[in-house]
Amino acid sequence: MNTVPAQFDAIRSYDDSDLRQVLPLLFDDDSFCQVLQSLFPSVSLAVLKERASQCSTILDVQKSFLYPYIENLLQSASEGAVLDDSAIADKTQAYSFISNHRDIVLDPALLCFLLIRNQFPDTAEIAIGDNLLIFDWIKHIVRLNRAFIVQRGLNLRETLLASQRLSAYMHYVITQKHHSLWIAQREGRAKDSSDRTQDSVLKMIAMGRSDNVIASLREMNIVPLTISYEYDPCDYLKAQEFQQKRDDAAFKKSKADDLQNMHTGIMGRKGHIRFVMAPPVNEWLDTLGDVPRAELFPMLSQHIDKEIHRHYSLFPGNYIAFDQLHSQSRFHDRYSAQETEAFNRYVSGQLEKIELPNPDMPFLRERLLTMYANPVGNWIEANEE
């Protein structure tokens, strides 16, 4: 295994050689032990610690702890998760998966779980914002699960330097470590579920090689990835945040809010879950010819968006929300009266969870319906072109 250059120490994921140092730190942290015990209530802490001591690789840790938990979670809080990787001809290559972003924790965790279940040779390294690393044990556990750190809240000069280092690290992961990686198409989740790739994300990725932008992007072997959940457990929290920002332009989520979103997203009802990989973008890049740099990134963003949108998995609730939001019955053949009644009950139940001193229910309902309707609108546009 290559020794990771020291310039990446502050942001890199942990590798196998870090286990012997990091695992004792985790088990010496009372907060981590309490969380671990809550995840595996039928197993004693001593047994869990012994199980960890038997792990010699990061993948061992993931298979011993993360994947059994995810399997149980999928059984208790979903109708199962599937990955359509039919567009990937060679699973042994390293890919940069760029996806829409629904859930803070589960999007990348489920991807890694599904990669192994679908016979990919290894899991992916995961980009995660440092704003979510609230406690030391969280910093350790995410890096132990192959997360690398995206630094936030920096000034302009610091942001440029951090972006250059992040891009260099991502290129190192693909070309030297030969690991796949995952990054969301934008900073933060699309609260209204209308997924759009930020040009700035692609520009950051391309910084890894300054000699040729197209070559830099090709080197990363980008694969658009579509993530679809039948239900978003955090939908009511997102609707609540819309009103908070509407009523207070200075509103910002607290650390407690982030923790609530993470916990709700993990534990809440998700229904059916589907991940779909589009073909790598390299073949499309090869058709571009000599494109001015200023035009390249918007064109690539639009290509990734179209791939993500046309591979949405749409469920009855999406069609119901679209028709209700637009006061029409365009998709009436995609759902039954019973499914409509069930979805309306679901929406009402989610709205009742909102805790605001002055809830604007018509506004909140419109926001929640929009989250489920927007993927339909985007799917229509992508497939009609």
Q: Are the C-beta atoms of residues 126 and 112 closer than 8 Å to each other?
A: yes
* pLDDT average, residue stretch 268-286: 96
Q: In CATH, what number is assigned to the domain containing residue 205?
A: 3.40.1130.10
Are residues 360 and 288 part of one domain? no
* pTM assigned to the model: 0.94
Are residues 351 and 208 part of one domain? no
**Is residue 360 in some structural domain?**
yes
Q: In what order do the strands lie in the sheet with 147-150?
A: 81-84, 273-277, 222-229, 96-99, 180-184, 124-129, 147-150
**Is residue 283 in some structural domain?**
yes
Quote the mean pLDDT of the chain: 94
Are residues 379 and 290 part of one domain? no
Are residues 326 and 209 part of one domain? no
In eight-state DSSP terms, residue 1 is -
pLDDT digit string, tens, across residues 2-59: 688 999 999 999 999 999 999 999 999 999 999 999 889 999 999 999 999 999 999 9
Percent of the chain at pLDDT > 70 equals 99
- Residue 385 in this model has a pLDDT that exceeds 70: no
Structure tokens at 342: 């069930």
Q: Range of 296's domain? A: 6-13+59-233+268-313
Are residues 229 and 113 part of one domain? yes
Number of H helices, E strands in the chain: 17, 7
Count of structural domains within the chain: 2
Are residues 176 and 141 part of one domain? yes
Are residues 137 and 159 part of one domain? yes
Predicted local confidence at residue 289, as pLDDT: 82
Q: Are the C-beta atoms of residues 196 and 41 closer than 8 Å to each other?
A: no
Of 313, 337, 371, the last residue of a domain is 313
**Is residue 50 in some structural domain?**
no
Are residues 328 and 224 part of one domain? no
Task: Please measure the distance between the N-terminal and C-terminal CA atoms of the chain and give it in whole angstroms.
Answer: 46
Structure tokens at 26: 């985790």
Short-list 242, 224, 232, CA closest to 184 = 224
CA distances from 358 to 229, 353, 362, 366, 368 (A): 30, 13, 12, 16, 17
pLDDT digit string, tens, across residues 332-341: 999 999 999 9
